[in-house]
Amino acid sequence: MEIKHTITFLPSNRQVIVAPGTNLIKAARDAGLHVNASCGGAGVCGKCRVIVERGDVDGGRSEKLSPVEYASGYRQACVASVSGDLTVRIPQESGISGGALATMVPERHRARMHVFEVDSLKEEGIFAPPVEKFCLELTPPSAVDNRADVGRMLQGLADQYDLHRMVTGLSVLRKIRGVMRENDFLITVTVGRPVNELFKSHIINVQSGCWSSRNFALAIDIGTTTVYGQLLDVNTGKVLIEEGDYNSQISYGEDVISRIMYAERPEGLLRMSELVVGTINGIIAKLIERPVPPYGLTEQPITIDEINSITIAANTTMTHLFLGLEPENIRRAPYVPVSTFFPPLRASDLGLNLPPHTLALLYPAVSSYVGGDIVAGVMGSGMYRTELLTLYIDIGTNAEIVIGNRDWLVCAACSAGPAFEGGGITHGMRAATGAIEDFSLNPQTYEPMNLTIGNKPPIGICGSGLLIIVASLFENGLLNQAGKFNAIECPRLRQGRNGREFVLAWEQDAGVDHDITINEVDIENFIRAKAAIFAGAKTLIEEVGLQMSDLEQVILAGAFGSYIDLDCAMAVGLLPEFDPAKVVYVGNGSLMGARMSGLSNHIRKDVVEVVRKMTSFELSEVVSFKDQYVASMFLPHTDMNLFPRIAKRLMSSFADDVE
């Protein structure tokens, strides 16, 4: 008889039966549970610590665990395998919580928030949605006019709306006879428009009666970590509801490279595709189930059949995995995606729980690492039609940078590493409940003030918190320009396993059973990340013969971009020094772009030109980048002339010390 073991996971109390030797992360996946594994289960990030409360595992020991932790049951799940029945607790910092799904631009940045202006699009006459509905009152057939039903409809569209060059698909052919006669030849025709008027329009649906006032669409942003969706009223441009969820692929690794590697396994691509399709289907179900606040003509519940388009923006890897395109060459030099443009598809062909007539419209990408999410941000933020010389930055696991204006655009992806999402930082975590997101330091006592998401006892540090912590330690003289702790007397400063470390929260104040610290290795990882971004932007702008000081506008996108403290970002040299009045926040630029394309066919058309215009730089191929990067590996930079304000502040604080 085959031997099997039962694993019970806490706190969820889920059980799974597995064979001996099963990896503990695999067992958690099988139970449908998430264990953080930034490194994709490679045993190096140390994020996947769990507590074995009953029974024991083979392996699970690692240098990431202290002897005390090991003795108290902590194991590193990715290197532990099952050898008997177990009860395993997934501690809060290793799992996921709902808090990270808040990506709204915070109150303090709202004044500089980019507002998507439906009315201005309407005024400009470019508010023509990709899918439109037209009511037709047709004359019934007679002996003198017995043309076919489809011919009658096409004539009606030509006569009543000056619409020509129409193609009718099989599903419309199959229902039009009944539809026409159900309501005395009053019908509603749903037309999918091409991006070029020369091409044909597709009649994707016909309904009996007049329904043109009800035309709904979905906008979706597939992030590596999170997926967001919006239900749109296409006639008004309004967002009716928004929903978000974790990308279910997250159990298979936190970054795109882990996902690609999984997709390369047998059936792996299918699995990756099914997972993200499942996440989107879950969001669609939630969007449709939730009652829309009553307004206008949409007081009747919206049904799934009334969704005529779904516009999707995502990075290149996520787009590939969603569509089931082989992503292998995205991760291997010379980094070749399968495609950067995607035709309109049937949403139902992609496994989405949407009716057969719903069009799926995918944002085009520029390259393997400048994806549709960034293109969507460039469109949604209006960067593609501004005269101002603009720097657009979206900081996630990778940071993408676009520089230019309506005449030219250059772009690049910077391998910043996962520091800003909590990766590579000893007590780093995503922006979830208990994460330190704001911070200050008493300049005399060096006593810290930790502000956490949800105001819970701190359990780790998220990206925005990390930036503020490093900036505060630096500006208060605890850190030197090289990112090393100065020899300052301070009870919170001590020698740790990874160089010297600063205790942000003692165990008794924390929501976890250990001190929360930041050490010199963490800070080095942070500096590498910020240096990559700054050097990337500086390289790009200099490649086109300009200087950082020429920038007229800075657009910050993404969750981290929305929460970023500008002063701190300039103090550590993540961003160049500039007037804060030049900053615009767009929040989730990808989702905003998806929404705009879902509402304006003109933007769908423009995006083709914009993508062709976006010159992508492979920074590793640009000779000057390496020098720029090394020069940026200081706080804020080796060339203090680039940071006159912070230089002045440091000088004055030095002067204070001398006094």
Binding-site ranges for a second copy (CB under 8 A): 141-143, 145-151, 167-170, 173-174, 176-178, 198-200, 323-326, 328-329, 333-343, 345, 349-350, 367-368, 618, 621
Quote the least distance from Cβ 373 to a second copy, whole Å.
16
State the SS3 of 63-105. Answer: CCCCHHHHHCCEEEHHHEEECCCEEEECCHHHCCCHHHHCCCC
Q: Compare residues 414 and 556 and give the one whose CB is closer to a second copy.
A: 414
Q: Compare residues 69 and 326 and give the one whose CB is closer to a second copy.
A: 326
Q: Which of 335, 343, 337 is nearest to 318 (CA)?
A: 337
Residue type, 389: L
Tokens of 615: 């010159």
Q: Which of 286, 258, 287, 284 is nearest to 272 (CA)?
A: 258
Q: Compare residues 55 and 324 and give the one whose CB is closer to a second copy.
A: 324
Q: Compare residues 25 and 347 and give the one whose CB is closer to a second copy.
A: 347
Q: Compare residues 96 and 206 and give the one whose CB is closer to a second copy.
A: 206
Length of the chain in terms of residues written: 659
Q: Compare residues 108 and 174 and give the one whose CB is closer to a second copy.
A: 174
Tokens of 250: 């997250």
Quote the least distance from Cβ 217 to a second copy, whole Å.
21
Q: Compare residues 49 and 152 and give the one whose CB is closer to a second copy.
A: 152
Quote the least distance from Cβ 103 to a second copy, whole Å.
29
Q: Which of 230, 211, 209, 227 is nearest to 219 (CA)?
A: 230
Q: Please tell me the distance from the alpha carbon of residue 229 to that of residue 279, in angstroms, as a whole number.
A: 10
Q: Please tell me the distance from the alpha carbon of residue 41 to that of residue 415, in angstroms, as a whole number.
A: 20
Tokens of 313: 């923006």
Q: Which of 589, 533, 130, 534 is nearest to 375 (CA)?
A: 589
Which helix (H) or strand (E) is 269 found in, with range?
helix 268-289
Quote the least distance from Cβ 426 to a second copy, whole Å.
36
Quote the least distance from Cβ 331 to a second copy, whole Å.
13
Q: 87 - beta bridge partners?
A: 8, 54
The answer to whether the Cα torsion of 274, 275, 276, 280 is positive or negative is positive
Which helix (H) or strand (E) is 623 found in, with range?
helix 623-631
Q: Compare residues 325 and 431 and give the one whose CB is closer to a second copy.
A: 325
Quote the least distance from Cβ 591 to a second copy, whole Å.
24
Quote the least distance from Cβ 170 to a second copy, whole Å.
6
- Name the H helices within 290-439: 316-323, 372-380
Tokens of 333: 């030099």
Tell me if 167 sits within 8 A of 201, measured CB to CB: yes
Q: Compare residues 87 and 171 and give the one whose CB is closer to a second copy.
A: 171
Q: Please tell me the distance from the alpha carbon of residue 316 to that of residue 389, in angstroms, as a whole number.
A: 26
CA triple 349-350-355, angle to 5 deg: 60
Tokens of 588: 């989730």
Q: Which of 472, 437, 388 is nearest to 108 (CA)?
A: 437
Q: Which of 341, 363, 376, 369 is nearest to 590 (CA)?
A: 376
Q: Compare residues 169 and 268 and give the one whose CB is closer to a second copy.
A: 169
Quote the least distance from Cβ 338 to a second copy, whole Å.
5
Quote the least distance from Cβ 344 to a second copy, whole Å.
9
Q: Which of 420, 424, 318, 312 is nearest to 369 (CA)?
A: 318
Q: Please tell me the distance from the alpha carbon of residue 408 to that of residue 384, in angstroms, as a whole number.
A: 9
Q: Compare residues 349 and 627 and give the one whose CB is closer to a second copy.
A: 349
- Structure letter (DSSP) for residue 302: P
Q: Compare residues 172 and 571 and give the one whose CB is closer to a second copy.
A: 172
Quote the least distance from Cβ 249 to a second copy, whole Å.
18
